[in-house]
Structure 1
């Protein structure tokens, strides 16, 4: 299988050798093929502008002598000089005589060196470095690689992981290989061989439904069944062998089997004939953005998945698009009753469903309807489970699905449905159990954050870590004599942060602002100091709802929010977010808090306060590194106390 881009070779270059980890550089199409025919009829290679660019990149300079070009391309000096003259006559190059060297050459459009896309492949490390990729390249890469670093100024670093291949949205390896060659502009044999091996691993096992209704685990060969499945699984998972390549699965053990084999490096294809539930016609009342439609299309192909995107990217609306595609009764699981109410309101607003078709099931009300929004805790309780088990759901949606691997939430994943969909801004866990999200719910489906920033769908907030001095010596001395968690608590509650919050609010007058805290005492102190409401888990639901509605309607421009605001409620977007404490939390928490400022309008700011000279400095850098890799710019600023400044005068 060939590709137009992969078949192009540049003059004087040799094909990349994938036997080592030498980077293979991507050619790009050029009108000048670099070939000419001599009078004798033999073909000789002439210099193309593309090859000149390559020589410049190799030399690290935008201007070169003829000798430098010849050395870079391993071509005779005389032949190169003639080719340089020819390119100059065509206007592709300029020449300049200088005193230290007779002539130097440079492209007529020097910016071409920096504006063009370049792809470098490191096969052994399975890394791909891309400088200024276009949207097509990024879309193709997203189908088989993970964006590890997204700093657009310094290029993009993609890593090809096993799980990226296991969940690639293709029906055959040939289709996947074609996508790879389109993205890379070349064929990397070593990388493709490894990808093919992972593709084969992902198609060794599958779950099917026997004609008598029970589930069967099938293996591609007796060897893989005996050496892998029957070594890893026991009587808790399977009843007995049916044949050399088939095992009879115990009811309810499907999720455990998928997780165990996934961890062994063999993801299971789920081809069970699950009940689709009663038909429910749903029409979406809004148009999906292109990337949202891509999410829905990929979900439709796989029948399951996790929509991964930054807060504000419209995962909830995309989920409604998936509901419309499935056209069946739907159960939505959420972390809190506040989110259940917001989901119900959004479904009523954005779909054709009537209020009497939408139910909520939690501590506040218990109504099971064709579309039901329930909390994870309720759905996992034995006395309520039968209500959900007895109904045949066409789709189960797991909102904030990064919680699913936890012992409390995972019981809800035993509910069976034909389709499963998860939603998460950051499906990572500090306990490294994130792979369970994809075995319990489905593979990740998403768009890299930087692409959404650049397209203007989501604004990229400016992040700044501000290292704040102690507010008084009493707390500083207490920190020095404390240890463990107590040191962290003292640093987090540094009273100097109150003055810094005041300063930042005054520096951004008129901004809609959210201040995040991890400690109730600190929240109350800030509330008293600023005369602003403090929204926490202790705030009654009706009061919480009123405050948030006032903030949304611009009747209130400042709220102090405890950890409950990170995921348990759907906070409105803000212009300014100040994280006063919470740096010992998870990377996911940093994502959620930064995400509160993401929206199509620009100018959003996130300030993270860390007590200077304490462990909070390391926590801040660690937490925000994750966001830096997603393409956000992170700055650092050290704040001096007034008496510190005066001492230095």
Structure 2
């Protein structure tokens, strides 16, 4: 067990009300605080339940509660209820004297509550559990679900088991047995290529093929039985097989030998970091997968390393023309590919080359699909792979290729369709964010949620009487935010700053108030490229950007990110925006502005929760109050009311 970890486990018997009769007259054995500490040390846990004390003292449950209550009255012990579970008891001076994280595990409910978790613990937990709640008083609450185990990035169950024990600080048989069952469940079906060239679905048993696969799949998907456990899959319906069985609770291993693409020798002129080399080796061994790592960790460079390892003609799919141009420049500068070997295919160019960079929208259109289908690709790269579940983007998952590679800092979607990313592209391959922070490859961002007061009673009243979109707009465009942005910029004089907005009107208004250019989807491409280049090269230190700045645009000088609205955006966008500041040197800061007393407060917490799960520390604080006269903002409170380091 790690020396800085004191785990707790609550079993079924502890979760239920103690069945012993109270009995007696309330008198019972003495329970001095030293005995309380001794019992903690014996159990190797930071908290105790009254049930455990009753068993240790061999007394009724009510008597143990009275003894514990006496310690509370004496100020030596504190108590706290955990959700619907029994009260837990812990020493009053625990936080001051121990200064360490505490882990409480509920194995039968597959829940984990962690107080003061380290980055290591949060990063480890994120590989097999989902962060459900963050509260400054109760800490972090995680839930382990079936699909969390199905898509865990570990290569074997032994590796997953090791990660669980490291994160939880001990062994929990009930939880591990359940996780092992889910791990095996995710390997009950596989797709492989028959020696005669067609695709076969193989089940672990005849019962699974008949009662699960044939029961859930539509007629015609399986063309014919080969034997009791294998069936011939109809051409071009493999994605349907994977998606349908996943929804039925059975992920499918894809071990097909796809058609070999045309050869294309590629040499990478950059030196890969250790973890990037590991990404390349793991991808080559599996043949498909999604590279998951924080912005700034070099996923594009690793993708070029994969291109060099595979040496096949490559199609790169991106969400925007700006990213297509950026990819082309990176490839020509950092590989042996000549300019004539790299083409772009989108609304502004129509070049099909050995390496072709196209937008999802163009590749998904019927009139263009045959152009990509006629090519024998050795590799398809899906940049910002979270786009794949969208109707027009998912068509590209049907394109024939030997290898599929997805790239994303945060492969999550607000419509909960992130599961389709892994079923259509491949399993996750990546490195914990925390590991890159610790190694110094990526600067960990400091994320701060600032709650901004209303500029005036008039603005607050307008919000109260508005509905729907108008209500969201009123909170987002609160004039006090412009003053707060100026205050933040005064604290970061000379630092490159990106200000993100959700609405065009909001961006236009801030551009006028702050005297800064606003880049949106309506900005002409030439103007957009000029502004981004000015930001990269030095003369411009601040930009206001809409969602065009969220995905992959390389602005390496960014040191400060300000999300002007805590309501709009998504968890993924929160990670991307914080990621604009994740660089190998210097400090990285992100501010999320939310109007106090509106739905932006809770939405800001929800959107930053994903960052907290990745090991990023998030704090909250109140902004200054602002007074507005003749269009001028004046702070009416001195220092900001600091909300402390409560995690958002």
1:441 is aligned to 425
| Greater alpha carbon shift after TM alignment, 127-136 vs 592-601 | 127-136
Match of 1:260 among 244, 258, 279: 244
Query: How far off is 1:216 after superposition?
Result: 1.8
Is the aligned partner of 1:377 residue 2:361? yes
2:207 is aligned to 223
Q: Could you tell me how far apart the structure 2 residues matched to 1:646 and 1:141 are?
A: 43
Closer, same or farther in 2 for the Cα pair 1:355/1:150, shift >3 Å? farther
Query: How far off is 1:641 after superposition?
Result: 2.4
Residues 331 and 397 in structure 1, CA contact (< 8 A), matched pair in contact too: yes
Q: Could you tell me how far apart the structure 2 residues matched to 1:219 and 1:551 are?
A: 55
| Greater alpha carbon shift after TM alignment, 185-194 vs 215-224 | 185-194
Closer, same or farther in 2 for the Cα pair 1:613/1:621, shift >3 Å? same
Closer, same or farther in 2 for the Cα pair 1:158/1:393, shift >3 Å? farther
Match of 1:357 among 341, 362, 367: 341
Residues 317 and 380 in structure 2, CA contact (< 8 A), matched pair in contact too: yes
Match of 1:410 among 394, 402, 408: 394
Match of 2:305 among 312, 315, 321: 321
Q: What's the secondary structure of 1:642's corresponding residue?
A: strand
Residues 628 and 634 in structure 1, CA contact (< 8 A), matched pair in contact too: no
2:292 is aligned to 308
Query: How far off is 1:611 after superposition?
Result: 2.1
Residues 460 and 602 in structure 1, CA contact (< 8 A), matched pair in contact too: no
1:35 is aligned to none
Residues 448 and 591 in structure 2, CA contact (< 8 A), matched pair in contact too: yes
5 Å-filtered alignment, 1:116-195, equals 122-126=106-110, 160-167=144-151, 188-195=172-179
1:9 is aligned to none
Is the aligned partner of 1:510 residue 2:494? yes
2:627 is aligned to 642
Is the aligned partner of 1:335 residue 2:311? no
Residues 336 and 375 in structure 1, CA contact (< 8 A), matched pair in contact too: yes
Q: Could you tell me how far apart the structure 1 residues matched to 2:169 and 2:47 are?
A: 23
Q: What's the secondary structure of 1:313's corresponding residue?
A: coil
1:393 is aligned to 377
Query: How far off is 1:623 after superposition?
Result: 1.5
Q: What's the secondary structure of 2:181's corresponding residue?
A: helix
Name the TM-score, length of structure 2 as normaliser.
Answer: 0.77
Match of 2:546 among 562, 570, 580: 562
Residues 479 and 491 in structure 1, CA contact (< 8 A), matched pair in contact too: yes
Q: What's the secondary structure of 1:466's corresponding residue?
A: strand
Residues 21 and 124 in structure 1, CA contact (< 8 A), matched pair in contact too: no
> Which string of whole-angstrom CA distances, capped at 9 and with x for unpartnered residues, describes residues 69-121 of structure 1?
xx99989xxxxxxxxxxxxxxxxxxxxxxxxxxxxxxxxxx99x969999876
Closer, same or farther in 2 for the Cα pair 1:57/1:271, shift >3 Å? closer
Give unpaired runs (5+ residues) of structure 1.
7-14, 23-50, 62-70, 76-109
5 Å-filtered alignment, 1:97-108, equals none
Residues 514 and 574 in structure 1, CA contact (< 8 A), matched pair in contact too: yes
Q: What's the secondary structure of 1:243's corresponding residue?
A: coil
Query: How far off is 1:244 after superposition?
Result: 2.5
Match of 2:450 among 425, 443, 466: 466
Q: What's the secondary structure of 2:426's corresponding residue?
A: coil
5 Å-filtered alignment, 1:1-12, equals none
Q: Could you tell me how far apart the structure 2 residues matched to 1:334 and 1:262 are?
A: 26
Residues 333 and 373 in structure 1, CA contact (< 8 A), matched pair in contact too: yes
Q: What's the secondary structure of 1:409's corresponding residue?
A: helix
Closer, same or farther in 2 for the Cα pair 1:351/1:152, shift >3 Å? farther
Match of 1:629 among 613, 624, 627: 613
| Greater alpha carbon shift after TM alignment, 615-624 vs 537-546 | 615-624
Q: Which structure has the larger Rg over C-alpha atoms?
A: 1
Q: Could you tell me how far apart the structure 1 residues matched to 2:439 and 2:138 are?
A: 19
Closer, same or farther in 2 for the Cα pair 1:116/1:520, shift >3 Å? closer
Q: What's the secondary structure of 2:391's corresponding residue?
A: coil
Q: Could you tell me how far apart the structure 2 residues matched to 1:174 and 1:145 are?
A: 17
Closer, same or farther in 2 for the Cα pair 1:72/1:476, shift >3 Å? closer
Q: Could you tell me how far apart the structure 1 residues matched to 2:366 and 2:577 are?
A: 34
1:104 is aligned to none
Query: How far off is 1:52 after superposition?
Result: 11
Match of 2:569 among 576, 579, 585: 585
Query: How far off is 1:254 after superposition?
Result: 0.7
Closer, same or farther in 2 for the Cα pair 1:290/1:646, shift >3 Å? closer
Match of 2:222 among 227, 238, 249: 238
Residues 21 and 123 in structure 1, CA contact (< 8 A), matched pair in contact too: no
Q: Could you tell me how far apart the structure 1 residues matched to 2:560 and 2:334 are?
A: 28
Query: How far off is 1:491 after superposition?
Result: 1.7
- Matched residue pairs, number? 569
Query: How far off is 1:242 after superposition?
Result: 3.2
2:78 is aligned to none
Query: How far off is 1:559 after superposition?
Result: 1.0
Residues 21 and 122 in structure 1, CA contact (< 8 A), matched pair in contact too: no
Is the aligned partner of 1:498 residue 2:506? no
5 Å-filtered alignment, 1:475-554, equals 475-554=459-538
Query: How far off is 1:380 after superposition?
Result: 0.7
Match of 1:347 among 331, 350, 373: 331
1:210 is aligned to 194
Q: What's the secondary structure of 2:350's corresponding residue?
A: coil
Residues 608 and 618 in structure 2, CA contact (< 8 A), matched pair in contact too: no
Q: Could you tell me how far apart the structure 2 residues matched to 1:186 and 1:474 are?
A: 56
Query: How far off is 1:473 after superposition?
Result: 4.7
Residues 142 and 447 in structure 1, CA contact (< 8 A), matched pair in contact too: no
Q: What's the secondary structure of 2:622's corresponding residue?
A: strand
Q: Could you tell me how far apart the structure 1 residues matched to 2:350 and 2:295 are?
A: 29
Query: How far off is 1:453 after superposition?
Result: 2.1
Closer, same or farther in 2 for the Cα pair 1:115/1:72, shift >3 Å? farther
Closer, same or farther in 2 for the Cα pair 1:72/1:523, shift >3 Å? same
Query: How far off is 1:351 after superposition?
Result: 2.0
> Which string of whole-angstrom CA distances, capped at 9 and with x for unpartnered residues, describes residues 305-341 of structure 1?
1111221111111212222222211111000111001
> Which string of whole-angstrom CA distances, capped at 9 and with x for unpartnered residues, describes residues 32-82 of structure 1?
xxxxxxxxxxxxxxxxxxx99945965789xxxxxxxxx99989xxxxxxx
Residues 9 and 107 in structure 2, CA contact (< 8 A), matched pair in contact too: no
Closer, same or farther in 2 for the Cα pair 1:263/1:55, shift >3 Å? same
Q: Could you tell me how far apart the structure 1 residues matched to 2:215 and 2:124 are?
A: 37
1:299 is aligned to 283
Query: How far off is 1:488 after superposition?
Result: 0.7
Query: How far off is 1:575 after superposition?
Result: 1.7
